[in-house]
Amino acid sequence: MEQFINFVKKEFAHVWRDKKTLLILFGMPVIQILIFGFALTNEVKNSEIIVMDQAKDQASQQIIHRIAASRYFDIQRSVMNNEQMEAAFKKGEIKVAVVFPAGFNESLLHQRKAQIQILADASDPNTASMLTNYVSSIIQDYQNSIDKTAAISYSIVPEIRMLYNPQLKGAPNFVPGVMALVLMLVCVMMTAISIVKEKETGTMEVLLVSPFSPLLVILSKAIPYLILSLINVASILLLSVYVLDLPVNGSVILLFAESTLFIITCLSLGIFISVKTNSQQMAMLISLMGMFLPTVLFSGFMFPIENMPYALQIISNLVPAKWFYLIVKSIMIKGLGFSAIWKETLILGGITLVLLVVSLKSFKIRLA
Amino acid sequence: MSSAFAIEVNGLRKTYGKEQLVAVDDVSFHVNKGELFGLIGPDGAGKTSIFRMLTTLLLPEKGTAKVDGYDIVADYKQIRKTVGYMPGKFSLYSDLTIEENLRFFATVFGTTIAQNYHLIEDVYVQIEPFKNRRAGKLSGGMKQKLALCCALIHKPTVLFLDEPTTGVDPVSRKEFWEMLKRLKAQHITILVSTPYMDEATLCDRIALIQNGKILSINTPQIMIQQYPEQLYAIKADQMYELIKALRKYPEVMDCYAFGEYAHVSFNGSFEDNKLKTYLKTEGLTQIEIKPVPPTIEDYFIKLLKN
C-alpha cells in the first residue's frame, strides 16, 4: 500500500512539474467554456411530436393532418392530458407538443381568432426554436388557405412555450458537451501519454523488472488523472453557474457520480491506447482522432443525431460521450433524478466494464 | 532455491518480426555466483535481447534460462523480486530529483534508502551534493551513477547492466568499473554488456558476441594468451597509404587500423628492415614498427575473420 501511495505521489509530481501540461489541463476547460458560445445551426427532420387535441373539430384535424404530412414531424401519438405530455417530454420521447384548446374551430369561426399552444423541449435551444418555427409556419399555411375561401381574415395565435430553458440560452446545450470533451481529452490523452512516456524513456522496463504489479502501475497512473478530472468537472460547473448563469437543476452529487463513471470510461480508453502504441506522438494522434472527433460528431452536442443516416445513428450508440452527454443534460438542465437516467447509466457502465476488461487484459507484463 | 550458477543459459534464441530477423541465435553460457561476467560485442550483436530475456521482459523462442535457479518464463515473478536491472538507455525520471528517484525505486522494491545504504554509499556520496537536482539535468556520468544506485537499492542477488558506460566520458567509465569491482565484494553477481573492448579485461570472464552468436567464452587473460601470432604495431605519416601498402606485402597475413597504429600479423618469418625498406619505396615516412601484445579487440577481429 505504501508503494502504491508513493507511486501516486510520483505521478502527481510529474503532472505538477510539467507546467505546460498543467496549463492545458486546467486552462482548457475554462477556454472551451468561454469559446463554445456560438450558435450552431442545424435542420431537424422527423422530430417526434405529440398533439393534444381537446377540440377535435374540423380546423384542428386539418392542422394535425398538415403536421403529419410535413417531413419535419412524426406524430408519435395523441394524448389527452397534461401529465401524459409532461411524461413524454421528460422521457425525451418527444421534442415538441401542440395543444388545441376545446372549441378551437368555433372560436376561429366566430371570433375570427383562435389560440393554439406549442411546447418545445428547449434544453436543446436550437432544435426547439427551429421546431416551433416549423409548427408556426404550418399553422400560418393553414390560415392562409382558409383565408382564401373566406371574406374576412382569421387569425390563429400560436402561444409558444420553451420548456426547461425559457430564455433559449445556448449554455445549457454546450456545457454538458464541453464537459464530455474536456474529460475525454484529459483522461484519454493524458493517461495514454503518461503511460507511453514511461515506455519511451525506458522506465517501464525497470518497473516491469520489479516486484510491483504491472496492474498497480496502471492504476497508480490513472488515479491522479481521475482526481484532476474531478477538479475539472468542478471548475466547469462553477463557471457555468457563476459566469454563464446556468444553475445545476438536479443533484450535484449525482452529477459527480456520473462524471466519475465517465472518467473511468475514459481512463480505460487511455490505458487501452497506451497498450497499443509505443510513442507519445502516436498516443496523442490516436487520442485526438479516435476519441476527440467521435465525441464531437456523435455525442449529439454539435450535430443532432436524429438527423444522421441510420448507420451513423447506430454507431453513435457506441460512443460513450453520447450517453454521458444525455445524462449531464438530464441532470443539469432538466433537473431529473437517477430514475430518469438509469438506462443511460447502465449503458455507459456496460461500455466502461468492457473497455476496462479489454484494456487490462491486453496490458502486457512483458515488453512484447 | 540453490543452484550452482547465478545465471544459466541454454540454447536461447530470439527472432523479431515477420521476417524472422535473428537477434539471438542458440546462445548458451553460465555465470558463476559472485562473478563479473561481460557480454562483449558491437551494436546490434544481440546483447540487449539477451538481457531482456534474462530479466523476463522478453520471451525466448527456443531454449531455457535460469536466473538464481528460477526459470525465466515460469518463475518470472520470483526473478523480478530478486534481480536488479539497468537498461541501456537512461531510465530514470528526468523530472524528479536524484533523491526522489532513489526513494521511488526503493519503495517500488519494498525497501528504504536507509536499509541498504551501505551498498550504494560509495556511489551515492559522489552524487549526493546534487541530490536536489533533477535527474534530467545531470551529466552522463552522474546519470549512470544514479541509475546504478537505483538498480542496487534493493540489494539484488544478480545485477544486469546493459551497456552502462555507453555515452559516458572516459574518467566516469573508469570510476564506474571500479565501483563494479567493489560490488563484487558484496557477493553480487554482475552481468554487464559493453561495446568497448578495452573494458573486457576488467571482467572475470567474457563472452564475445556477434550477430546473435557467441564466438568465444573465457577469461580475458586466456583469450589474449590464445592469440596465435606475434602482433606488430606499425605507424607511418599516412595511415591509409600504409594499410594499402601493407596489404600488398606478400608476408602480411592480417592488417587493420587500430587507433593511430596499424596492427599487423605475418606469415612465417618477419624482417624489420626489409619491411621498412619496402614501405619507404612506397613513399611512406616516419615509419615505426614495434611488437605489441594482443588485446581482446585483436582476438575479436581474428575470430570474425575465421
Question: Which domains, ranges and CATH numbers included, belong to chain A?
Answer: 2-39+170-362 (no CATH), 47-163 (3.40.1710.10)
Which residue from B156, B199, B175 is spatially nearest to B38, judged by alpha carbons?
B199
Give per-residue pLDDT as tens, B225-234.
Answer: 988 888 999 9
Tally: H helices and E strands in chain B: 10, 14
**How many angstroms separate the CA of residue B263 from the nearest CA in chain A?**
39
Q: Which residue has the cell 510539467?
A: A18
**How many angstroms separate the CA of residue A187 from the nearest CA in chain B?**
21
Q: Alpha-carbon distance A280 to A95, whole Å?
A: 44
Cross-chain CB nearest to B104 (options A10, A18, A202): A10
DSSP letter at A288?
I
A166 near B CB under 8 A: no
A20 near B CB under 8 A: no
B59 near A CB under 8 A: yes
Cross-chain CB nearest to B80 (options A13, A211, A368): A211
Contacts A219 to B, Cβ<8 Å: none
Give per-residue pLDDT as tens, A115-151.
Answer: 888 888 888 777 888 788 888 888 888 888 877 766 6
pLDDT at position B158 is 94
B270 has a pLDDT exceeding 80: no
Stated as kind and residue range, the H or E segment containing B67 is strand B62-67
Give per-residue pLDDT as tens, A231-249.
Answer: 989 988 888 888 777 788 8
Stated as kind and residue range, the H or E segment containing A97 is strand A96-100
Q: Are strands A73-78 and A47-53 parallel, antiparallel or unpaired?
A: parallel
Cross-chain CB nearest to A209 (options B59, B83, B107): B83
Tally: H helices and E strands in chain A: 16, 5
Q: Find out whether B2 and B158 touch, Cβ atoms under 8 Å.
A: no
Q: What ipTM describes this predicted complex?
A: 0.83
The one-letter amino acid at A97 = A
Q: Does the reported pTM lie above 0.80?
A: no
Q: Find out whether A7 and A217 touch, Cβ atoms under 8 Å.
A: yes
- A170 confidence band (pLDDT: 50, 70, 90): low
Which residue from B292, B293, B298 is spatially nearest to B197, judged by alpha carbons?
B298
Classify residue A203 as exposed, middle or buried by CB count within 10 Å of its CB (0-12, 13-18, 19+). Answer: buried
Q: Alpha-carbon distance A299 to A318, whole Å?
A: 10
The one-letter amino acid at A286 = I
Contacts A202 to B, Cβ<8 Å: 87-91
Cross-chain CB nearest to B93 (options A203, A211, A366): A203
Cross-chain CB nearest to A3 (options B81, B93, B107): B107
Classify residue A225 as exposed, middle or buried by CB count within 10 Å of its CB (0-12, 13-18, 19+). Answer: buried
Tell which B residues from 85 to 114 touch A, by Cβ distance under 8 Å: 85-96, 100, 103-105, 107-110
- A41 confidence band (pLDDT: 50, 70, 90): very low
Stated as kind and residue range, the H or E segment containing B10 is strand B5-16
Contacts B52 to A, Cβ<8 Å: 205, 367
Give per-residue pLDDT as tens, A182-235.
Answer: 888 888 888 898 889 988 888 888 888 888 888 888 888 889 899 989 998 998
Question: How many Cβ atoms sit within 10 Å of the Cβ of residue A25?
Answer: 20
For B231-305, give the CATH class: alpha beta
Highest mean pLDDT among A168-177, A217-226, A292-301: A217-226
Q: Which residues contact residue A305 at a Cβ distance below 8 angstroms, ignoring those fewer than 6 apart? A: A298, A312, A313, A316, A322
Classify residue B2 as exposed, middle or buried by CB count within 10 Å of its CB (0-12, 13-18, 19+). Answer: exposed
Q: What is the CATH T-level fold of the domain B5-220, as seen in this structure?
A: Rossmann fold (3.40.50)
Q: Find out whether A153 and A147 touch, Cβ atoms under 8 Å.
A: yes
- B267 confidence band (pLDDT: 50, 70, 90): confident
Q: Alpha-carbon distance A108 to A59, whole Å?
A: 8
A7 near B CB under 8 A: yes
Q: Alpha-carbon distance B260 to B17, whole Å?
A: 41
Q: What single string gives the DSSP state of each residue in A315-346?
A: HHTT-HHHHHHHHHIIIIIS---HHHHHHHHH
Contacts B100 to A, Cβ<8 Å: 10, 13
For an interface test with A, give the residue of B18, B108, B157 to mutate (most A CBs within 10 A).
B108
Domain boundaries, chain B: 5-220, 231-305
Q: Find out whether B16 and B23 touch, Cβ atoms under 8 Å.
A: yes
